[in-house]
Chain A
Amino acid sequence: MSKLLDGLYYSESHEWVKVVEGNTVLIGITDFAQSQLGTVVFVDLPETGTKLVKDAEFGAVESVKAASDLFSPVDGTVIEVNEDLIGEPEKINEDAYEAWLLKVELDDLEALKDLLGKVDYAKLSE
């Protein structure tokens, strides 16, 4: 059974969103996603300033064998990239909710309501 946290928003493509303050959020991949992928060996992330479009591909997490595309759960602008993951991408396997990928300024905080809560996401990742 994969780990889920309260208070996060989840997407059907297995990303999570956590509100930090105001319109600022962190985005990562879920524990279920990392467990399916296996050891992460490379993370391909956009640069600071990139505009994210909901449901559009913005990068990839890669295991030895496969590249798994990342899809943005929100509309917004990248304001910070987690540089720690460049040297140590396997941190995503250690704790998928600590190892955030991007810090994003949302276009619209209200849009988070369209994402899934913990209970609904749990049904997708059983």
Chain B
Amino acid sequence: MENLKETCLLGYHQGKGAKLEAFAGYLMPIVYTSIIEEHNSVRNNVGMFDVSHMGEILVKGKDTCSYVDHVFSNEITSKPDGKVVYGMLLYEKGTIVDDLLVYKISDQECLLVVNASNTGKDYTWLVEQSDGFDVTVANLSDDYGQIAIQGPNAEATIKDLFDIDLSELGFYTFAFKNILDCKVIVSRTGYTGEDGFEIYGDPMAIRLIWDAFDAVGVTPCGLGARDTLRFEAALPLYGHEISDEITPVGAGLKMFVRFEKNDFIGKQALEEQIESGLKRRLVGLELLQTAIPREGYPVYSGDNEIGYVTTGYLSITLKKPIAMAMVDVDHAKIGTEIAVKIRNKLVPGVVRDRKFLQKNYKK
């Protein structure tokens, strides 16, 4: 366990007896009491996650917008200050460096929030691409702690506790707020399919805010529930649904690529891929008998292996065995009969859409 980094909330996790594991170089809580209880608290009430391990990279300078739009699959130049935009960093060949949120602070300042496991790689990539742009790129990950507070009662919890009204803060927007005398960023974003917020600030501030949430009974949730929640919402996770071998087109994320904007890294490769057609793409699966289709399990059509499960669970909310999988395009149509190989048995299932769950975003 040595050489692992600690978030500002590790002491809390240890005090609660959370099961801790190494994740992206950090010692992180996987579960406090029960993944099922933590998952349900977010679906039905309110839960909070320590996501201080996420990477924060600040881009500043005259060319901020043109630079971000050069490296980002989505588009930032036309967006108002205070907007959060989801998209990807792409390699020239169209595969994915990382997926991320861009917080547009102003025309000359954007905060890029990236996956913890990719922060170092992303930072190096971003610096390399900044030649010729009047920008500075700084990795501020160690300066920020982060809490995700998620669930239908997240907004009311913040209102009651801090007297801060977030009812006007729109989906995928952010604002600077003072909480417990600390300046923090609050955005209406998350990774659960529920309404909720992410709060970024100095690690000391994040500890104070976390303890305040804890004192009013917000359920602490580990990375275990974070994964079951994002999976049901069909949100991709780097290294699973997306990777440096998968493009946004194959992963069903084309809506987060703005082809009509000026040139950006990876654009040409994606256009060629759309022109020539995909080999495999991401689909939803549902098994027709109870079994659990887990990550890496092969997907079959008859005797032919046609793909693999990227993430799968016995869904806690839906109580059904469902999965996301990469399959050959010939077998990707909704309703196609497939089977997943589980402990040497072929368990029958069908291709379905990835709208596993009605998302409860407040827009």
Contacts and interface: CB of A to CB of B under 8 A. Distances in A.
Interface of A: 38-39, 41-42, 44, 57, 59-60, 62-65, 67, 69, 86
B316 interface: yes
A47 to B, nearest CB: 12
A31 B307 CA distance: 37
A34 to B, nearest CB: 13
Contact of A60 (B227, B313, B316, B343): B343
Contacts, number: 38
B31 interface: yes
B343 A65 contact: no
Given A38-B35, A57-B343, A64 B228 contact: yes
B291 A64 contact: no
A59 to B, nearest CB: 8
Contact of A42 (B30, B228, B314): B314
Interface of B: 30-31, 34-36, 224, 227-228, 290-292, 294, 313-314, 316, 342-343
Given A41-B314, A44-B343, A65 B35 contact: yes
Contacts of B313: 64
Contacts of B30: 65
Contacts of A86: 290
A68 B224 CA distance: 17
B318 to A, nearest CB: 13
A86 B294 CA distance: 19
A63 B228 CA distance: 12
Nearest to A66: B294
Given A42-B314, A69-B343, A62 B36 contact: no
A86 B314 CA distance: 14
Residue in A41, A42, A59 whose Cβ sees the most chain B Cβ within 10 Å: A41
B36 A64 contact: yes
27 contacts: A38-B35, A39-B34, A39-B36, A41-B36, A41-B292, A41-B314, A42-B290, A42-B291, A42-B292, A42-B314, A44-B291, A44-B342, A44-B343, A62-B292, A62-B314, A64-B35, A64-B36, A64-B224, A64-B228, A64-B313, A64-B314, A65-B30, A65-B35, A67-B292, A67-B294, A69-B343, A86-B290
Contacts of A59: 343
Contacts of B294: 67
A66 to B, nearest CB: 8
Contacts of B227: 65
A42 B314 CA distance: 8
Contact of A39 (B35, B228, B290, B292): B35
Given A60-B343, A64-B228, 20 more contacts: A38-B31, A38-B34, A39-B35, A41-B36, A41-B292, A42-B290, A42-B292, A42-B314, A44-B291, A44-B342, A57-B343, A59-B343, A62-B292, A62-B314, A64-B35, A64-B224, A64-B313, A65-B30, A67-B292, A86-B290
Contacts of A39: 34-36
A60 B294 CA distance: 13
Nearest to B223: A65
A115 to B, nearest CB: 24
Contacts of B35: 38-39, 63-65
A67 B31 CA distance: 17
